[in-house]
Amino acid sequence: MILATKQIIEKSNDIEEIKGVGEQFAAIQQSLEKAFQFQDALAPEEALRDLLSIYDLYLHIESGINPSERLKSLEELERSVEAFKILERSVEAFKIKYKEFAPKEAVDGIENVQLWAKISRTMMSAKLFFTLAASVEDNEVKQLNIFYTGLISLLDIAENYLSFFTQRGRESTKALVQMLISDKTFEDYAEKRPADEITIQAIGIRNAARAILWEIDRHDRKKFSYKALYEEANNAVKTDDKEELLKTLRSWREEYINELEKLSEN
């Protein structure tokens, strides 16, 4: 077995640290009750009943997520993925059914629940692929391809939804991809193997891991903004001398370039 080792799968167990949205249900309920005060009495009763059904689904899923549980079977992971799909479909049906009645606050809240389900499903799917790859021991190309598919799911989250991660979740994901980047296997492929399908897959995995690492680092530095950078330099230097300010910005630029060069060499 090349990459999908027990160690990597165990690390992937730690990256479920996604912020929950359970507290939003109370706000959604209050918003619906307020909006339906002067409408048909059946509408709020039915809407609240449907919302409660979604909340029950959410609680059922939440209760099944146990961060201390080390390894899950393929069957357990498949059931978890399906549970998130059911929750996504239920929320979508709720949005369609009540889109003409629900206030913006309720719609925004229920969409956050739907987004949480989507992100969690994608994360669980990534873990499913990692675990599936670990079960493939006699076909390196197939194993690497499955593992790469899981990593691309993780990259999708890193590119679009990192704000849903807790700090611990980002750190755990970062540790996982750093382990992949530093894995000696990649160097062995590049230096000793011909440019075959296995080499291409291994390099693809390493590049995806680098992309995930870059996204996490970028998120933790906050979204890049020229204006924010200028204001940060201005506050750091505390001077009206524009030349001095530009000098500081240039020095920071050199630091960023040096860090990028270090990453490209790894």
| Residues 109-154 pLDDT 10s | 898 899 888 988 888 888 889 888 888 878 888 888 888 898 999 8
- In contact, 217 and 263? CB cutoff 8 Å: no
Q: What is the pLDDT of residue 92?
A: 94
For the chain, which residues make up each domain, given as ranges?
6-223, 226-266
d(CA 106, CA 99): 10
- In contact, 10 and 2? CB cutoff 8 Å: no
Using the predicted structure, report yes or no on whether residue 226 has a pLDDT greater than 80: no
Q: What tokens were used for 119? A: 């992100």
Q: What is the pLDDT of residue 4?
A: 43
Q: What tokens were used for 236? A: 């750091």
Q: pTM of the full predicted structure?
A: 0.71
User: Which has more pLDDT, 92 or 22?
Assistant: 92
Q: What is the pLDDT of residue 15?
A: 47
Q: What is the pLDDT of residue 68?
A: 46
Query: What value does the mean pLDDT of the chain take?
Result: 76
d(CA 119, CA 34): 30
Q: What is the pLDDT of residue 30?
A: 85
Using the predicted structure, report yes or no on whether residue 1 has a pLDDT greater than 50: no
Residue range 59-71, pLDDT digits in tens: 888 776 654 454 5
Q: What is the pLDDT of residue 134?
A: 81
Give the CA angle between residues 240, 245, 251 to the nearest 5°: 165
Q: CB 260: neighbour CB atoms within 10 A?
A: 11
Query: What is the chain's alpha carbon radius of gyration, rounded to the nearest angstrom?
Result: 23
Q: What is the pLDDT of residue 191?
A: 63
18 - beta bridge partners? 165
Section 243-265 average pLDDT: 61
Q: Side chain identity at 108, as an amino acid letter?
A: D
Q: How confident is the model at residue 89 (pLDDT cuts 50, 70, 90)?
A: very high
Provide, for the chain, the percentages of residues in helix, strand and coil under a 3-state DSSP scheme, each rounded to the nearest 5.
80, 0, 20
pLDDT > 70: percent of the chain: 65
Residue range 146-195, pLDDT digits in tens: 888 989 998 898 888 888 887 777 887 888 888 887 877 666 765 666 66
Residue with tokens 């979204």: 223
- In contact, 126 and 80? CB cutoff 8 Å: no
- In contact, 119 and 164? CB cutoff 8 Å: yes
Q: What tokens were used for 94? A: 């709720």
d(CA 8, CA 86): 29
User: Which has more pLDDT, 126 or 1?
Assistant: 126
d(CA 143, CA 8): 14
